[in-house]
Structure 1
């Protein structure tokens, strides 16, 4: 497979957004978000999704040149209307506001309505961590998850992320869907012609399937944990929690009210909800970063169950990013 230098990929995506009317800043922010996903080994959230964003703009389902605005705020909280801008624009605005409030009060909690798909949740939590804070980011999505014992989708993949700075160059990085996988992973299996692992998806009959084509056409994901016997109801509970933070708190569309996202750009505005949180650990017990580093290094040095090094998920992602940067 051929390789393309990352600067050219960034230029191409930026030009695509500009060609359909997005201003330079919005185009660059959204392109950088997609590129970051590819560089971290998440093609399901990268260039692979460009057509969806572009078609939303062409069809008028997204207005990239609008401006988000604060509807209500206190010293530590804010409620934002994204005014249907691109997800990257809305999310930079939301997390930047949370960071500002954290500098002033020690914590910032911001909910956003009227937004669009905002890519990797970890990208936004990392913004707060880069400023020395604990960052958390949540978003709702189109309904793709069947709650435990249900045949029908009622919640999204509803990802959550927590990123925290540590000492000695370490950091804690969690970015996860509350479904067993993101729907993009099923699409990637389909493109490779490979079956799905057990516990990923249901068919139209409500039963688990490993058929990638059937799963992709049905778009009915299982919760994190899979079926009821393997505690999938916990993933269902986490997805519901994210919906509480995002759609229900912000007044955006939520759960079964969110449109399906398709390559056609049909269905009108997504009106997604996000939640961004920043917390200053210096307001708590001294030594936070050192204790976090000690914990991370202890976990990594535990005796492995197989003949391989214990790795954090983010460690694998960092290695992928390093490989991509050599292109």
Structure 2
């Protein structure tokens, strides 16, 4: 599958390094068990490449810079390439000056935020990344989607594997809704809300994806915490706005309500932060203390039949499983990917072996 993805992006016109980079990003996601943002996303990227929203030949550019910060203009290239470039800038600054903070504008959908945070952790640094998106979240008490899914990712070196927190500030990302629809599964409660006769009601079984993508449809994703302040709705809403500050406001890029899939001159905004733990002391001692702390959590008494995981554990388990057994791609996604390959004249073998 990785070879097929690489060959598809080469056929679009990306150079060999870029095509391999895109394949690495997408397959990394599926290898860690996050099907919503792996090869499932290729059909959306294909649409953007075909309609010109993603410019194959464009290159990201630093437009403002200090020793510890930069603003990057992605010039509407592919989001994963812009994200990798931006995080590498942050990493270089962190290694030289202790901290690197990059705000990026005019980017594209970049996949999972955790990939970029983990780029820093793999080099011994603390990493953070976030991105806004077109409107998807219903702010607390609102009838109109206005804030994006706006995920926040944090990664830090630890033993036996990196700690990685990566979560949308909505209850689930929109991609997960799409996966459930492909599998014809009912949605769990409190993922999506719609306007009822008198108030916003939980909406679980008959979500129209077109309505979900329309900010004026009175259908939207719930913030973390659901639809009521009593359950913490305002917390997910507030976290989503913090993402807007670090991505769109600091870069002077587009905020969520300014982003539409049809406007070819508007793209999401993102942030990339790397911190060298050595500015606080011995990095090995810091990482050991953190690793010990995480292990203490894993060893807490658990409810009968349950296992306590810390962030990154499930992904590490998924990676080990898929390294041995391969990744699982649903039939509809596989048909989408092979359909793209057929259109571009890309050959492939038996993907079910």
| TM-score under structure 1 length normalisation | 0.91
Aligned with 2:296 (options 272, 290, 298): 298
Structure 1 residue matching 2:94: 3-state secondary structure: helix
Aligned pairs for 1:151-300 (under 5 A) are 151-166=143-158, 168-205=159-196, 206-214=200-208, 217-219=211-213, 220-228=220-228, 229-260=230-261, 266-286=262-282, 287-300=285-298
Structure 2 residue matching 1:207: 3-state secondary structure: strand
1:194-230 Cα offsets, whole Å, 9 max, x none, are 2222211112543211115346743410001112121
> Would the aligned equivalents of 2:162 and 2:312 in 1 still touch at CA under 8 Å?
no
> Would the aligned equivalents of 1:26 and 1:88 in 2 still touch at CA under 8 Å?
no
Aligned with 1:131 (options 110, 123, 135): 123
Which residue is equivalent to 1:95?
87
* Counterparts of 1:314 and 1:169, CA distance in 2: 10
Which residue is equivalent to 2:322?
324
Q: Measured at CA, do residues 225 and 307 of structure 1 come closer, stay the same or move farther in structure 2, by a change above 3 Å?
A: same
* Counterparts of 2:61 and 2:234, CA distance in 1: 37
* Counterparts of 1:170 and 1:23, CA distance in 2: 32
* Counterparts of 2:256 and 2:314, CA distance in 1: 32
Pairs aligned (count): 313
> Would the aligned equivalents of 2:155 and 2:163 in 1 still touch at CA under 8 Å?
yes
> Would the aligned equivalents of 1:116 and 1:270 in 2 still touch at CA under 8 Å?
no
Which residue is equivalent to 1:263?
none
Structure 2 residue matching 1:213: 3-state secondary structure: coil
Which residue is equivalent to 1:122?
114
User: Which of structure 1's runs of 4+ aligned residues deviate more than 4 A?
Assistant: none
Which residue is equivalent to 1:310?
308
| TM-score under structure 2 length normalisation | 0.85
Q: Measured at CA, do residues 142 and 170 of structure 1 come closer, stay the same or move farther in structure 2, by a change above 3 Å?
A: same
Which residue is equivalent to 1:85?
77
Out of 196-205 and 246-255, give the one that drifted further: 196-205
Aligned with 1:67 (options 50, 59, 71): 59
* Counterparts of 2:281 and 2:206, CA distance in 1: 48
Which residue is equivalent to 1:38?
30
